[in-house]
Amino acid sequence: MSRSRAPLVAGAAVAVAAAVTLTVVVWPDDSGPGTQNSGSASARTSASPSPTRSYPLSTAPRTIPAVREHTAARGPGWKPSKDSAVVAADPALTDEAKLLAKELKIGYRGEKSPRSGDVELALASSGKGDPESYTLRTEGNQVTISGPGQAGVFYGTRTLKQSLNADDTVPEGVVQDTPDRPQRGLNLDIARKHYSAEWIEDRLHEMADLKLNQLGLHFSDDQAFRIESDSHPEVVSEEHLTKAEVRRILKLAQSLHITVVGEIDSPGHLGAVLRAHPDLQLRNTQGVARQGAIDISKEESAKIVDDLLKEYAELFPGDWFHVGADEYQALTVSSPRASYPQLAAAAVEKYGDGATVQDLAEGWLNDRAAVIRKAEKIPKAWNDGFFTGGTVTADKGIEVEYWTGKEIGARPPQDYLAEGRDVINLNDEYLYYVLGEPNDFTYPTGKRIYEQWTPFVLRGTEPVPERYSKQILGGRFAVWGDFPNAQTQAQVAEGIRMPLNAVSQKLWDPREPKLTWAQFQQLADETG
Residues known to be catalytic = 327
The Cα–Cα gap between 528 and 498 comes to 11
Closest Cα partner for 377 from 310, 303, 470? Answer: 310
Q: Phi and psi at residue 432, in whole multiples of 5°? A: -110, 115
Contacts of 84 (CB under 8 A, 6+ apart): 104, 106, 107, 117, 118, 119
Helix (H, G, I), strand (E, B) or coil at 310: helix
Decide: 426 and 432 in contact? Cβ < 8 Å: yes
Tell how strand 107-110 and strand 85-88 pair up.
parallel
- Beta-ladder partners of 78: 170
- E-assigned strands of 257-325? 259-266, 281-283, 289-294, 320-324
Decide: 317 and 246 in contact? Cβ < 8 Å: no
Burial class for 358, CB neighbours closer than 10 Å (0-12, 13-18, 19+): buried
- Burial per residue of 406-415, b for 16 or more beta-carbon CB atoms within 10 angstroms, e otherwise: ebebbbbbee
Tell how strand 432-434 and strand 423-425 pair up.
unpaired
Helix (H, G, I), strand (E, B) or coil at 320: strand
Peptide bond into 484 cis (omega under 30): no
Closest Cα partner for 367 from 417, 326, 325? Answer: 325
Angle CA 187–193–195, to nearest 5:
75
Decide: 3 and 127 in contact? Cβ < 8 Å: yes
Distance of alpha carbon 414 from its chain centroid, rounded?
Answer: 24
Contacts of 147 (CB under 8 A, 6+ apart): 123, 124, 129, 131, 132, 133, 134, 135, 153, 155, 156
The amino acid sitting at 161 is: K
- Beta-ladder partners of 217: 188, 262
Angle CA 17–22–25, to nearest 5:
160
Decide: 458 and 468 in contact? Cβ < 8 Å: no
